[in-house]
Amino acid sequence: MRYPCGRQRTLAREVEIRGYGLHTGRPSSIRIRPAPVDTGIVFVRGDIEIPAHYRWVVEVSRATNLGREGVTIRTVEHLLSAFAGMGIDNAYVEVRGGEEIPGLDGSSRVFVQEMTDAGVVEQEKSRRCCKVVEHFRFEREDGSFVEVSPNGGGFKACCTIQYNHPYLDFQSTVFEYDPGYYSEEVAPARTYCFYEEIAHLLKKGLGRGGNIHNAVVIGAEGVLNGPARFEDEPVRHKLLDLLGDMKLLGSPIMGEVRAYKAGHSMHLRFLEAFVGSRAYLWVDGK
């Protein structure tokens, strides 16, 4: 049986993770708890619950932020990517210190390690899947796009980046659902930025928790704080982000997703347009 068909999954036990917010630079800690079938991923802060769903997205400026009734949960995409990569459908994420998910090393590696240590268990109900039945593309005038197409079951994602930059111009990568591959080849890929952007980011109040250990800084000659973990670490991180943002659909996609020069805002615009289309059917993944 190929993912996303199969039973829903959650963690076998609680997990606690501490760190600092990548953008706020403040201490933060989360506790991830197992959840019953059909819960989805739900963030909890105080007595407010915010489902990991695109309708609760309040901001997509460099990171994906959720909000409800004055409560904000910032930078959810790397944690959501870990849930997606591990095939975990249901969990509560209590956000305790601060309002941002810990940034850790700028990747989803620690989340995956902790989830793997805790163990992942199958639940008694099959997944509801979003089966792509016809090609659908959301694109911008600059040629960037996110598109989906049917692929006879299973899940596949292709991600391509292209910059007009002397060191980083074109990179492309493909992922077919496999938690082992995700944890080894995708989860360790760190967020990245261009050297020229750093001053601008700090001025906007973003990236305050960024340092040479949790972001790959790319200069004209190459990675300034090397070595890179992979030769194509940037596009692997783009894939990590894409998988995390697609989790905001609330159900896994059965089909192939292709993203070209996309980012958080494009991912979210795509989801909204796709849900309003006739390009998919809800199916029981049993």
Instruction: Please give the positions annotated as active site.
Output: 264
C-alpha–C-alpha distance, residues 131 and 52, integer Å:
20
Report angle CA 8, 76, 58 to the nearest 5 degrees: 110
Region from 1-9, 96-104, 240-248, 251-259 binding Zn ion, contact rule CB under 5 A: 240-248
Across 110-261, the runs of DSSP E, i.e. the strands, are 120-126, 128-132, 136-139, 145-149, 155-162, 170-176, 192-194, 216-219, 222-223, 253-260
Q: Which two tokens stand for residue 113?
A: 């390690």
- Residue closer to Zn ion by CB (options 28, 191) is 191
* Residue of 66, 118, 123 whose CA lies nearest to 244: 66
Q: Pick one of 241, 253, 257, 274: the residue that binds Zn ion (CB under 5 A).
A: 241
Interface with Zn ion, residue 245, by CB under 5 A: no
Binding segment for Zn ion among 155-163, 169-177, 239-247, 249-257 (CB under 5 A)? 239-247
Window contacting Zn ion (CB under 5 A); options: 91-99, 110-118, 236-244, 255-263: 236-244
Q: How far is the CB of 106 from Zn ion (least distance, A)?
A: 7
Residue 235 near residue 160 (C-beta atoms within 8 A): yes
Residue 49 or 197: the one with the smaller Cβ distance to Zn ion is 197
Task: Between 5 and 186, name the residue whose CB sits nearer to Zn ion.
Answer: 186
Q: Cα dihedral sign for 87, 158, 155, 271? A: positive
Provide φ and ψ at 18, rounded to 5°: -120, 150
Among the listed residues 95, 191, 215, 239, the single contact to Zn ion using CB under 5 A: 191
Cβ at position 127, least distance to Zn ion in Å: 25
Considering the complex, what minimum distance in angstroms separates the CB of residue 182 from Zn ion?
15
What distance in Å separates the CA atoms of residue 276 and residue 273, rounded to the nearest whole number? 5
CB of 53: closest distance to Zn ion in angstroms? 19
Nearer to Zn ion, 45 or 236 (CB): 236
Residue 137 C-beta: closest distance to Zn ion, Å: 23
Eight-class DSSP state of 56: G
Candidate segments 93-101, 131-139, 200-208, 235-243, binder of Zn ion by CB under 5 A: 235-243
Of 89 and 241, CB closest to Zn ion? 241
The separation between the first and the last C-alpha atoms of the chain, rounded to the nearest angstrom, is 9
β-partners of residue 282 are 130
CA–CA separation, 61 vs 213, rounded Å?
Answer: 22
Binding site for Zn ion (CB under 5 A): 191, 241
